[in-house]
Amino acid sequence: MVNLGDIRDRVFSFFEEVGALSRFTSRFFREAFRPPFEWAEFLNQCYYVGNRSLTLVGITGFIIGLVFTMQSRPTLLEFGAVSWMPSMVGLTIVREVGPVVTALICAGRIGSGIGAELGSMRVTEQIDAMEVSGTNPFKYLVVTRVLACIFMLPLLVLIGDALALYGSYLVEHVKGDVSFQLYFNQVFDALTFGDLLPSTIKSFFFGLAIGVVGCYKGYYCSHGTVGVGVAANTAVVVASLLLFILDFMAVVVTDIFYDL
């Protein structure tokens, strides 16, 4: 039998969580534009975020390019359209696959890492000690990490896209004897400014979602060391869900502009 009380409590809890996350995000925007600015910590977090995910993003992007081309080539050969392979792969990776896959990887690596790091600082009372000493822990810990995610994710997406296209080129070079210049000429002929701009803009929003969720879960962590693991896990789940929602919204908005 369905317990209506439990359903009501879950719905209320969900909306409370949405409200708390919204307040946390609005506080981030207020603090981000208010001096003083923690430039040294921001640059340190940029290096940390980029270095933590670069290898995994590069390897994943390269393999996606290889697999996607190898899986698509037989079908295009069957219809005599294998010459469209560079254009199709370029549009697919730049528009959708590259940003989404890179963001999901970063949600797993960066989001969980930030949640665990801030969560451990919360349960060991380091954040409380910063507040007592007169330091603004939100600006130092949260703003710098979220801004690092916002600015580094588009760069990681660019690197992942480039390696995915190179992996696709290798398959075409081996199986179809396509030269490097011919392959990438066809890729860039198919791409337009309208393809690059939406994917770049949504990458910034993906970085914002990953950073905010990871910091929120860690900053308000509770229940000791068990809560640290919960914060890291829930940060990945919530950030991944937000990425799909943001991607859907970006596709809808882009489709509206294409129809105008």
Distance CA 89, CA 187 (A): 8
pLDDT digits (tens, 9 = 90+) for 103-152: 999 999 899 999 999 999 988 888 888 888 878 889 999 999 999 999 99
Task: Write down the pTM of the prediction.
Answer: 0.91
Q: Is 42 exposed, middle or buried, given 0-12, 13-18 or 19+ CB atoms closer than 10 A? A: middle
* Helix (H), strand (E) at residue 82: none
Residues with Cβ < 8 Å from 91, sequence gap 6 or more?
Answer: 190, 191, 195
pLDDT digits (tens, 9 = 90+) for 56-70: 999 999 999 999 999
Q: Residue 84 has which token pair?
A: 């469209």
Q: Residue 176 has which token pair?
A: 């179809």
- For 124-170, the three-class secondary structure string (H helix, E strand, C coil) is CCHHHHHHHCCCCHHHHHHHHHHHHHHHHHHHHHHHHHHHHHHHHHH
pLDDT at 249: 92
pLDDT at 2: 52
pLDDT at 1: 53
For the chain, how many residues are written?
260
DSSP symbols for 179-230: -HHHHHHHHHHH--HHHHHHHHHHHHHHHHHHHHHHHHHHHT--SHHHHHHH
pLDDT at 242: 93
